[in-house]
C-alpha cells in the first residue's frame, strides 16, 4: 500500500501542481500574457510540436557535446589536480575564481571568437559543467586512506600503481555522482547561450516567441527544458547506480 | 645490534634500529617524535612495542618499512641499510582498509599485483595465486568467503582478511599497528589466536605495536616499552612463558606479573611527561 503510494507520489505531486496552477489562473482570471494556464501551454505544445521538437534536439545535442567535452576535460584535470597536494593547492584558487565567473558574462566573448551559432552554446555548456567533475574526482583521490597508501608504498608501489589500483576506482562514485549534477548544468549553459545569440535551440525559440508575445509558446519551451533536464538527470542517476553499486552497498552496510 | 656469539662469529639482528631520532616537521616547528631509539629484533622473533599514546610507535613502523627516513641514526633490516620502501614487509592497521569494490580474494591478492616477482607473473599464474590466497583464508577461518565483498563481513572477519593481505606475498616481516584495537574483547582474543597460529605455522618476524598489555604479553617473545614523546625504548622485557600458549595462560600468576610490571613501567613514563 505505502510503497505503491510512494511510487506514484512524484506523478501525483506533479499533477497536483498543474491542477493548482490551472485553478489559480481560472479563479483569479490571470492575464494569459502574464501567466498562461497549463491548458493553454499544452495547447501551444500540440500546435507547435514540430518546431519545438526540432529546437529541442538542437539544445539536446549542444548540451551533449558540451557535456562530453566537460567529462573528458574534467576527468583529465581532476586526475592531475588529485595527483599531488602541490598541484591541488596551486590550482584550487584559480579554479574557484574561474568557477565564480557567471558564465553569461563569457558568452559575449565566445560570440566574438566563434560567431553566432552552436559553438558558443557547446562551449558555454562545457565551461559551466566541467568544474563539479574536476572537484569530485580530485576529492575522491585526495581522501584516500593514508594507511592504505602506506601498505602499498611499503611494497614498492609507485604513485601510478596506487592511482590505478586504488585512487581511480575509489574516485568512481565521486565521478558518477558529479555527472548528474554536471549534465543539468551543461543544459543550463547551452540554453543561456542560446538565449543570447543563436539561430536554433529552445533558448532561441523562447526569445523569438517572447518577442512575438506568444507567451504560451515561451512557457512550453520552459516546460520542455524541465522535462529534458529531468530525463537527463534520471539517466545519469541510473548510470551512477549501475556503475558504483559497491559504494551504495558499502555505505549502507556501514550505516547499519 | 651487532653482537658476538660464543664461537666468535659476529651476528646482526634481523632488524637493527640504532640511535634513531625523528623530527616531525609541522606548521608550528618540528616535534621530536623519537629520540635516540635503539631496538633489535631477531629473525623469527615476535616483538611487541607498547607505550603511552603519542610516543611515536607508529613512526617507528614507518621508519622500519622505509616509508620515512630517520633524521639521525640508522636502521638495518636483514643486513641491509633501509633507504626506501622495504618490499619484504606486510602491514596491517587498526582499520582493515579493504577495497570495497574488490571481492575478499581480490583484496588479498592486491600485494601480488604490486610486488615483484609476483607482479610480472600475476596474469599467467593467477590460478595458483588464487589457490594460495584461498589456503591462507582457510587458515584464518574464512574458508569459502573469497567471493564475498568486504561489506558483507563483520569487523573481525575484515581484520582477518587484512592479515591475509599482509601475508600473501610471504613477507619476512609483518608490521602490525594496533590491528585489534577496534574489535570487541571476544573477537580480539579470537584474533590473537589466529595471529599466534599464523606466526607459529609460517614463522615470520613480527613487530606488533599495541597499547594492550595483555595482548603483548600473550603474543610476544619480547616487549619493548617506549617513553612518552620524545619516544625511546626504556625497557625491553623477555616473555618466557612456554609455547604454545593458550588463552588460559592469561590467568597464571606469571602472566599477571608480567602485565603488572609493564603497567607500572608505563605509569612511570607517563608521570614523567
Dump pLDDT digits (tens) for A105-126. 888 899 899 988 889 999 999 9
Q: Where are the domains of chain A?
A: 58-250
Percent of chain A with pLDDT over 90: 43
Residues in chain B predicted with pLDDT less than 70, given as ranges, are: 1-11, 26-28, 273
Q: What is the mean pLDDT of chain A?
A: 88
Higher pLDDT, B134 or A4: B134
Q: Residue A57 pLDDT > 60, yes or no? A: yes
Instruction: Say which CATH topology domain B3-272 has.
Output: Rossmann fold (3.40.50)
Q: How many CB atoms lie within 10 A of CB A153?
A: 22
State whether residue B249 is helix, strand or coil.
helix
What pLDDT was estimated at residue B182?
A: 85
Asked if the model's pLDDT at residue A252 lies above 60, the reply is no
pLDDT digits (tens, 9 = 90+) for A14-35: 999 999 999 999 999 888 888 8
What pLDDT sits at residue B124?
86
Given A147, A155, A252, which is nearest B111 (Cβ)?
A: A155
Q: With a CB-CB cutoff of 8 Å, which residues 188-247 of chain A face chain B?
A: 246-247
**Residue among A148, A156, A250 minimizing CB distance to B87:** A156
Quick one: pLDDT band at residue A12, thresholds 50, 70, 90? very high
Q: Which residues of A touch B116 (CB under 8 A)?
A: 156
Which chain A residues are Cβ-neighbours of B62 within 8 angstroms?
A: 150
Tell me how close the Cα of A61 comes to any Cα of chain B, in angstroms. Answer: 34
> Is B89 within 8 Å of chain A by CB?
yes
Q: From B86, B75, B69, select the one nearest B39 (Cα to Cα).
A: B75
The single-letter DSSP state of residue B43 is: T
Q: In percent, how much of chain A has pLDDT > 70? A: 96
Where does the pLDDT of residue A255 fall: very low under 50, low under 70, confident under 90, or very high at 90 and above? Answer: very low
How much is the pLDDT for B1? 43
Superfamily grouping for domain A58-250:
MetI-like (1.10.3720.10)
8 Å CB contact between B160 and B98: no
Cell numbers found for residue A72: 573528458
A149 at interface of B, judged by CB pairs closer than 8 A: no
* Per-residue pLDDT band at A250 (split at 50, 70, 90): low
Contacts A254 to B, Cβ<8 Å = 151
Determine how many CB atoms are found less than 10 A away from the CB of residue B214: 18
Mean pLDDT of A31-43: 89
Output the pLDDT for position A189. Answer: 92
Measured CA to CA, the distance from residue A170 to residue B260 in angstroms comes to 45
Q: Which residues of B touch A145 (CB under 8 A)?
A: 95, 97
Any idea which of A70-74, A226-230, B189-193, B231-235 has the lowest mean pLDDT? B231-235
Instruction: Please indicate whether residue A154 or residue B215 has the higher confidence score (pLDDT).
Output: B215
The whole-angstrom distance between residue B24's C-alpha and the CA centroid of its chain comes to: 22
Distance (Å, rounded) from C-alpha A158 to C-alpha A162? 6
* Residue closest to B146 by CA, chosen among B137, B159, B154: B137
Amino acid at each position: 500500500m505505502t510503497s505503491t503510494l510512494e511510487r506514484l507520489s512524484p506523478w501525483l505531486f506533479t499533477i497536483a501542481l498543474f491542477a493548482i496552477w490551472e485553478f489559480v489562473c481560472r479563479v483569479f482570471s490571470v492575464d494569459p500574457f502574464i501567466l498562461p494556464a497549463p491548458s493553454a501551454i499544452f495547447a501551444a505544445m500540440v500546435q507547435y510540436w514540430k518546431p519545438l521538437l526540432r529546437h529541442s534536439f538542437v539544445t539536446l545535442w549542444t548540451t551533449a557535446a558540451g557535456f562530453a567535452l566537460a567529462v573528458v576535460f574534467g576527468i583529465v584535470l581532476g586526475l592531475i589536480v588529485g595527483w599531488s597536494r602541490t598541484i591541488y593547492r596551486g590550482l584550487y584558487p584559480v579554479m574557484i575564481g574561474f568557477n565564480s565567473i557567471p558564465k553569461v558574462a563569457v558568452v559575449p566573448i565566445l560570440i566574438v571568437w566563434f560567431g553566432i551559432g552552436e559553438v558558443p552554446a557547446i562551449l558555454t555548456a562545457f565551461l559551466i559543467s566541467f568544474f563539479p567533475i574536476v572537484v569530485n574526482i580530485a576529492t575522491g583521490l585526495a581522501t584516500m586512506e593514508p594507511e592504505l597508501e602506506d601498505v602499498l608504498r611499503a611494497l614498492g608501489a609507485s604513485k601510478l600503481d596506487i592511482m590505478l589500483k586504488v585512487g581511480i576506482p575509489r574516485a568512481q562514485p565521486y565521478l558518477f555522482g558529479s555527472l548528474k549534477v554536471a549534465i543539468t548544468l551543461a543544459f543550463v549553459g547551452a540554453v543561456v547561450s542560446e538565449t543570447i545569440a543563436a539561430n536554433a535551440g529552445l533558448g532561441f525559440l523562447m526569445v523569438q516567441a517572447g518577442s512575438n508575445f506568444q507567451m504560451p509558446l515561451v512557457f512550453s519551451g520552459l516546460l520542455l527544458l524541465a522535462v529534458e533536464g529531468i530525463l537527463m538527470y534520471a539517466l545519469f542517476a541510473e548510470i551512477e547506480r549501475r556503475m558504483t553499486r559497491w559504494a551504495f552497498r558499502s555505505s549502507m552496510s556501514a550505516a547499519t | 645490534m651487532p653482537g658476538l656469539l660464543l664461537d666468535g662469529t659476529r651476528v646482526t639482528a634481523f632488524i637493527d634500529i640504532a640511535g634513531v631520532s625523528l623530527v616531525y616537521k609541522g606548521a608550528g616547528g618540528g616535534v621530536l617524535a623519537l629520540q635516540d631509539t635503539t631496538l633489535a629484533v631477531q629473525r623469527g622473533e615476535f616483538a611487541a612495542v607498547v607505550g603511552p599514546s603519542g610516543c611515536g610507535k607508529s613512526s617507528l613502523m614507518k621508519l622500519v618499512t622505509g616509508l620515512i627516513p630517520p633524521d639521525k641514526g640508522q636502521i638495518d633490516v636483514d643486513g641491509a641499510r633501509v633507504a626506501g620502501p622495504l618490499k619484504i614487509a606486510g602491514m596491517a592497521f587498526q582499520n582493515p582498509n579493504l577495497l570495497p569494490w574488490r571481492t575478499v580474494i581480490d583484496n588479498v591478492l592486491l600485494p601480488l599485483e604490486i610486488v615483484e616477482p609476483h607482479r610480472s607473473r600475476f596474469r599467467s599464474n593467477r590460478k595458483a595465486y588464487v589457490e594460495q590466497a584461498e589456503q591462507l583464508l582457510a587458515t584464518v577461518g574464512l574458508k569459502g568467503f573469497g567471493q564475498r565483498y568486504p561489506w558483507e563481513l563483520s569487523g573481525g572477519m575484515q581484520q582477518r582478511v587484512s592479515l591475509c593481505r599482509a601475508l600473501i606475498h610471504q613477507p619476512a616481516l609483518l608490521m602490525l599497528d594496533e590491528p585489534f584495537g577496534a574489535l570487541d574483547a571476544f573477537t580480539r582474543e579470537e584474533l590473537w589466536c589466529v595471529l599466534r597460529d599464523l606466526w607459529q605455522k609460517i614463522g615470520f618476524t613480527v613487530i606488533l605495536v599495541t597499547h594492550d598489555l595483555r595482548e603483548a604479553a600473550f603474543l610476544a617473545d619480547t616487549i619493548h616499552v617506549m617513553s612518552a614523546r620524545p619516544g625511546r625504548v626504556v625497557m625491553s622485557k623477555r616473555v618466557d612463558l612456554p609455547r604454545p600458549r593458550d588463552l588460559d595462560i592469561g590467568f597464571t600468576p606469571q602472566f599477571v606479573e608480567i602485565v603488572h610490571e609493564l603497567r607500572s613501567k608505563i605509569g612511570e613514563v607517563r608521570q614523567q611527561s
